[in-house]
Structure 1
Amino acid sequence: MRFYITIFLVLGIFANGFGQKVKILLIGASHDYRKSKDQNFSNIHQRIRAFKPSAFFGEFVSPEDEATLMDYWCKTDNLKRLKKLRSNRHIPLDKITRVIDSLKVISERDNDNFYLKSDLAHAYYLAQDAANGHYLYWQVYDHLNKSADSKLEKYVDSLLCPKQDVSGRSMKRLATSEYAFIAFPMMKEFGLTEMLSMDCQDYDLNWTASAIAFHNKFEVFQKDSLATAYKAIAALLEKRDKGFKKYQEMERSSNVFTEWLNTDEAADILASGDFYFNELYNFKNFPKEEILSQIHWWKKRNEGMCMNIVNRANEIHAKRVVVMVGANHRKFMQEIFQKIPDIEVLTL
């Protein structure tokens, strides 16, 4: 309990120093809609239009944080893309910022020049700004889907190599993500030229270590407890499995899957994937210390993301921002935002 009180006191101290109210539209989403039937995003688009945001945040690591993070779950994938794109066209590190600024000005003057957008995407990727590399690449990708252009496609393939970027936060994943269907089309409609990054991966190695420690012990617990006919444990595990089946059913059959992902029902099902249920924690030999460690590092990541959003929104004086986040983060972040003074959080 002392841990949570301390966190909220710290958050309050930070927030009191901002001096600006920020309204946040928090949208939990799937990172991949490939398994879903044709989705109807019109209600979400309309909600964003009515909200009238001045900025969008995505679940990406900022260039500054990317440069200092030694390792996290997709660091190897990011470095692989960086190495490939540098070999395609090298831009010295000390010139990347100027190149990006110049390309932005030129591209805004010639908005239908998708070669320039490809060049700008490439420069963003070299600056380790995946959010805006993706935003520019998506604009080119979307254009090619609507208007075939073999010459442009060949140029994109040679410069950005999207067919080789297939793992991690890749160009391949982008094509069926919440950014392709929700964030980027709305940013384009509002004339917003950049996405802000807000992910926090400072604790990813701690999270991974905790998860491994828990699962190793949980396998033994599950085997031993079910062998001794603990009906209550079996019932809770069955409840968890039923939740997963409900998730899969909604993913497959609902054309408004994202709206459902923003319900408490979906949040509880998603949380049970990593954290099971509180009712399990006090059973004999349950790895309680390990699961609480997992929860601790998960909360730390969500707190980091929330503070990145608040800090960066205030830096650019943005008072109304849309935040796109994986649905398993939505409820955790909503509860954190509700504790921060001068922050109003809205959901779908």
Structure 2
Amino acid sequence: MKTNICILLTFIALLFSTGVVAQTTEILVLGSDHENKPGAEDYDMVVRKLTNFKPDMVFGEYLSPADYEALEPGTWAFQGMKKSKEFIAKTYRQTPKNLNKKIQEAQSALQKFPYLHKVRMDLTAWYIMQSDRGNADYQIYLIEHEMKKHFGKSEMAYYTQHFGNLDSLKKLRLYRPLSEYTNIYFPLLYGLKQNQIYPMDCQKYDRPWSEAWAKADSAFKVLRTKAKADTSSAEAKTYAAIIKYSNLTPEDEKHMTKSPYYNMAHPRYAELNDAWNFYGGSRFYGWAGFPDQHIKDMFAQWTLRNEGMCANVLRQAKANHAKRVIVGVGAGHRKLMEDILAKDPNVKIVSFLDLAPAAN
């Protein structure tokens, strides 16, 4: 009997190790505001709730180095990183050989002793050279919020020589005081003692998305002009209905809380977000003057981007055997990403609404 049990346990262990029985990954997609003003949210409360979730990995709306290098020059994401690269090229003069090895060695050294300030500054520059914007931003956050107060004279001089000052970093958008990363995700990572943020953005469809948006915007302006020119027209009825649908109802306001992050996790927010981002959304297909095809084209490109983002999350989460994952993303992405990720039978979607209250 004991022999049979041992054989059974060995068989079960083999199934898990070979991937026949896949591990369930809990994924929390947190809809985030890109502009987090002081006092608008209890950010410490949000961080505590996320900390209690105990994520193995935290993803941000950043491109991987490979995906950045594949971007078309002139696109928004390409140009933003290009400025940082040009700045660092002037202050560091040359890219070291074996850049990946240098980064790994610096990461290892900082894991053992986090107050190697010059090593951290070099690591930040190397991340920029490697086109890893997310982890460069994270190191800048650590320098500004946790490490700079411990700098000696030589370390401050080294910082000034290579990075200028905080205003320089703000101009390069390497430090964004109002971003969700500065206020939530980087403090979360630091508290968890995790040394990196994982990239998951997908910008392959940026150009066709921009073209679809421009056409939809032009068509909506035509609808609005007709509606205002003749308030008794069918187009006026469409326009008035869109405006009404895009506003908060008394019922919405009754269920809103003081926490924007709680509100952004609510199902109703996803409906409103579609109305705000897609000129009323699919609800108005077939209405007089509504640009159905242009809005459908927008939705198609939007879906492709979100599918790409989800694929990036799943690939890395599975490779790292993650049990719990947080995906920080603009609030407009949350519902669609949850729906896409939930199609994976080994994924369990967790809502921010369901997290236990954060203890002080």
State the partner residue of 2:243. 238
Moved more, 259-268 or 312-321: 259-268
1:286 partner amino acid: F
Alignment partner of 1:203 out of 196, 202, 205: 205
Matched with 2:47 is: 45
Higher relative contact order (CA 8 A, sep 6+): 1
Q: Structure 1 residues 228-237 or 200-209, which shifts more?
A: 228-237
Q: Is the 8 A contact 1:18 1:314 kept in 2?
A: no
Q: Greater shift after overlay, 260-269 or 206-215?
A: 260-269
SS at match of 1:344: strand
**Compared with structure 1, are the counterparts of its residues 296 and 190 closer, same or farther at alpha carbon in structure 2 (3 Å cutoff)?**
same
Match of residue 270 from structure 2: 267
Distance 2:48 2:223 in 1: 48
RMSD: 3.0
Alignment pair present for 1:218 and 2:223: no
Q: Which moved more, 1:48-57 or 1:86-95?
A: 86-95
* Offset of residue 272 of structure 1: 1.6
SS at structure 1 position matched to 2:294: helix
Instruction: Quote the residue 1:293 is aligned against.
Output: 297
1:57 matched to which residue of 2? 59
Partner of 1:112: 115
Query: 5+ residue gaps in structure 1?
Result: 1-15
Q: Which moved more, 1:108-117 or 1:289-298?
A: 108-117
Name the CA distance, whole Å, in 2 between partners of 1:325 and 1:33. Answer: 13
1:319 pairs with one of 307, 323, 339: 323
Counterpart amino acid of 1:194?
Answer: Q
Q: Tell whether 2:195 aligns with 1:193.
A: yes
Contact 2:209–2:298 (8 Å) recurs in 1: yes
CA–CA distance in 2 between the matches of 1:97 and 1:208?
A: 34
Secondary structure of the residue aligned to 2:35 is: coil
1:37·1:255 contact (CA, 8 Å) conserved in 2?
no
Q: Which moved more, 1:128-137 or 1:92-101?
A: 92-101
Tell me how far 1:277 sits from its aligned partner: 3.2
Contact 1:60 1:199 in 2 (8 A): yes
Counterparts of 2:179 and 2:257, CA distance in 1: 16
TM superposition shift of 1:152: 4.5
Q: 1:235 to 1:51 in 2, by over 3 A?
A: same
Contact 1:62 1:199 (C-alpha < 8 Å) held by counterparts: yes
Please report how far the alpha carbon of residue 176 of structure 1 lies from its aligned counterpart in structure 2 after TM superposition: 1.9
- Aligned partner of 2:344 in structure 1 is 340
CA shift at 1:279, angstroms? 3.5
Q: Deviations over 1:287-333 (max 9, x none)?
A: 21111000000011111101100001111222211111111111111
Q: CA deviation at 1:192?
A: 0.9
Pairs within 5 Å for 1:1-348: 19-34=22-37, 37-71=39-73, 72-92=75-95, 94-143=97-146, 152-161=155-164, 162-166=166-170, 170-173=173-176, 175-228=177-230, 229=232, 230=234, 231-239=236-244, 242-243=247-248, 256-275=259-278, 276-348=280-352
Distance 1:210 1:88 in 2: 40
- Residue 139 of structure 1, CA deviation: 0.4
Structure 2's unaligned 5+ residue stretches are: 1-18, 353-360
Aligned to 2:16: none
Residue identity (%): 24
- How far did 1:136 drift? 0.9
What amino acid sits opposite 1:135 in the alignment? Answer: Y
| Greater C-alpha radius of gyration | 2
Offset, 1:27 = 0.9
Q: Is the 8 A contact 1:41 1:256 kept in 2?
A: no
Q: C-alpha separation between the residues in 1 aligned to 2:154 and 2:285?
A: 59
Q: TM-score, normalised by structure 2?
A: 0.81
Structure 1 letter corresponding to 2:76: W
CA distance in 2, matches of 1:93, 1:119: 11
CA distance in 2, matches of 1:84, 1:254: 43
Cα displacement (A) at 1:166:
4.2
Deviation, 1:255, is 5.3
Identify which range, 298-307 or 261-270, moves more after superposition: 261-270
| 1:151–1:265 Cα change, 3 Å | farther
Whole-Å separation in 1 of the counterparts to 2:58 and 2:315: 14
TM-score, length-scaled by structure 1: 0.84
**Cα offset, 1:150, TM superposition:** 7.2
